[in-house]
A and B are shown apart, each in its own frame.
Chain A
Amino acid sequence: MELRQLEYFQMVSKVNSFTRAAERLYVSQPAVTNTIRALEDELGIQLFDRSQKQVLLTSEGKIFYNHVENVLYGVSKTLADINNIKNLNGGILRLALTPLAGMRNFMALLKIFREKYPQIQLVFDESNNIDGQRAVLEDRVDLAFLLPETKSSLLTYLLIERQTLALCLSVEHPLATAGMVRLEELVEEPLILFKQDCALRNLILNEFERNNTLPRIQFESSHIQTIKSLVAENAGITILPEDLCAVDRRIETVKLKMPLYIDLALVYKTQRSLSHAAKAFIQLAEELYTEKRM
């Protein structure tokens, strides 16, 4: 049993809907439905009558609701606080990461944090922007490093890094010596992009659209290494943050004439009581970088 189950139950009872409860709790609707079902299984009773348009408490559900209200009256927030009190020398810090998180400032931040708090176990969960934000909202991770394309009013975004995007191409490509290119010059080039739902992909495609052009997408991948290997083999070109272009000698980096930028942000839930480890991470990020909330 978890405190979360009781909180979800209370919310569904109040709004008479799984969907509305999910919206108010900032979690997905299946998360609420499954949690309530698990609670019903544990208690061996049906808490809600789902046969009507509205989800209504059964007579047993009403008794249970009153009991839960009595039990949790005035204590649920304090209980949540207790659960979030963690020592810095132990524990786990869960981070959702965009595949593009490997930029300079993030790596430096991670290195310093590990040196300062060696006992904290860092667990990474690679996900795209939408899934990463959802993971934070549903408390599946403590923090996320994302490219905040669309922002949620429930999350705080701390700018860690703004990177210039650059064209990545094989050293054998005719444009490799160009020094600088315009986006329109790339219309006929086979483009290798991240798969859909990636903020970088959307940014690039929007920029092409803004120029009334459509790129020729040759390959799609979720893995930056695959994309770079394909570029190195001259199977196409791509556009990446400058930090991520380098390293491979078979790849050349060329600046875009109209520069494009992408922001990497540290994301956390505004109204959540954060663990000490998460707070320490945020504090370090603020000290080292911008202290700018986006």
Chain B
Amino acid sequence: MKLEFAAVGSSVLVAEEIKRAVKSIFYKDIKIEAYTLDDLAVKIDVDLYICATTQMERLCTLVSQQKIVCLELMPSSKFFLSVGRIPQGARVYIWNNHLRYAQIIEKYCQSLGIRDIVFEPLPYDDLSVETVLAKLRQAKYLIGVDCFIDGDLLENEQYAECLSPKIVLIKAQRVAAIHSASRLLWMIAGLMWQTIYTKRCQFEVADVTSDDEANKLFVYAEQAVELIRDSINKAVYNQISPEAASAQPKGITDFGMNLKNSGLKEKLAGIDELQAVLVQMQEKLKLIETSAR
């Protein structure tokens, strides 16, 4: 009953970043693989495809739209706090492949009150190599998404060699924005509910259900509720500090243990109730998605 996901990006770097961002929402290990859009030309069947907004249109031509979730990525607090330490009046280059996201970072920094430094986007894929090199030579402060700084800057000899040894690099670890994390969890809760519902209906038809089967489904339903609840909390904490968010929450209970002595009727009633809980959670996730957008 384990769900499978595909993290889809325009490049391996982006796909891997989406994969990491999705994994960081969950405390438990989930089944997710990174794919580029080209990889998807070969049919890959998973429960959900998770991509960046820019890839949505192309991805829709390859897989059912109902199975796609867009993930918007944002740097966490730690990045902005580091940018806030840059001395007043300094020129700060924003390293990104395209201008749009560099402008988003600049705008967000300013909205947080970081206004006394001069931001200059450095959209390296939109500029000539000479222009990029010229700007990199001058740079004392350079900020950007970690995978782009590590991959397209530091691993590019031409670029890396022209950097001043004193340059301050501030790398953003991006995490899923709350509204898109809520959307993702909303879809996951729906899938889990469907799984429980189908199995529960089978119990009705068969009329005879083994204690073991009911136990398994109850535990699955309990874990589904826990997973959704813990993950939305983690998605919020990730925005602040992904490191601090990774601490496992206290008070996780082993619900299966409590079930051992109860009858089949109680277990089935419990499963029905957990289904209702999942629906309630879905409604709340929808609320978060709309209010956080």
Contact = CB atoms under 8 A, between A and B. Distances in A.
Interface of A: 1, 3, 6, 42-43, 45, 59-60, 62-64, 66-68, 70-75, 78-79, 81-83, 85-92, 118-119, 121
Given A60-B84, A75-B178, 13 more contacts: A62-B113, A63-B84, A67-B240, A68-B240, A71-B236, A75-B288, A81-B284, A82-B228, A85-B225, A87-B277, A88-B273, A89-B270, A89-B274
25 contacts: A1-B245, A6-B240, A42-B243, A42-B244, A43-B77, A63-B84, A63-B112, A64-B81, A66-B112, A68-B240, A73-B291, A74-B291, A74-B292, A79-B233, A82-B233, A82-B281, A83-B229, A85-B229, A85-B280, A85-B281, A87-B225, A90-B253, A119-B258, A119-B270, A121-B258
B288 A89 contact: no
Given A71-B239, A73-B291, A82-B232, A60 B273 contact: no
Contacts of A121: 253, 258
Given A63-B112, A75-B236, A90-B255, A85 B291 contact: no
Contacts, number: 115
Contact of A82 (B229, B240, B255, B258): B229
A177 B262 CA distance: 51
Contacts of B62: none
Nearest to B83: A63
* Main secondary structure on A side of the interface with B: helix
Contacts of B228: 82
B244 A87 contact: no
Contacts of A75: 178, 236, 288, 291-292
Contact of B111 (A70, A74, A82, A86): A70
Contacts of B259: 89, 119
A78 B287 contact: yes
A45 B243 CA distance: 14
* Main secondary structure on B side of the interface with A: helix
A121 B81 CA distance: 43
A67 B80 contact: yes
Given A60-B84, A118-B262, A119-B258, A83 B233 contact: yes
B247 A1 contact: yes
Nearest to B112: A66
Interface string B188-225: 00000000000000000000000000000000001001
B154 to A, nearest CB: 24
Nearest to A81: B284
Residue among A67, A72, A83, A85 with the highest chain B CB neighbour number at 10 A: A67
A43 B273 contact: no
Given A66-B113, A74-B291, A85-B229, A1 B240 contact: yes
B222 A90 contact: yes
A96 B78 CA distance: 39
A3 B288 CA distance: 15
List 7 A-B pairs, minimum CB-CB distance, nearest first. A74-B291, A89-B270, A42-B244, A1-B237, A90-B255, A1-B244, A66-B112
Contacts of B244: 1, 42-43
Interface string B235-254: 01101110111010001010
A6 to B, nearest CB: 7
Contacts of B240: 1, 6, 43, 67-68, 71
Contacts of B255: 89-90, 119
A59 B84 contact: yes
Contacts of A74: 288, 291-292
Interface in B77-120: 77-78, 80-81, 84-85, 111-114
Contacts of B269: 89
Residue among A42, A82, A92 with the highest chain B CB neighbour number at 10 A: A82
Contacts of A43: 77-78, 81, 240-241, 244
Contacts of B237: 1
Residue among A79, A88, A89 with the highest chain B CB neighbour number at 10 A: A89
A1 B292 contact: no
A42 B266 CA distance: 43
A89 B255 CA distance: 8
A68 B228 CA distance: 22
A63 B111 contact: no
Contact of B236 (A3, A89, A90, A92): A3
A218 to B, nearest CB: 44
A121 B292 CA distance: 35
B81 A60 contact: yes
A42 B178 CA distance: 21
A63 B253 contact: no
B222 A63 contact: no
A63 B288 contact: no
A82 B249 CA distance: 15
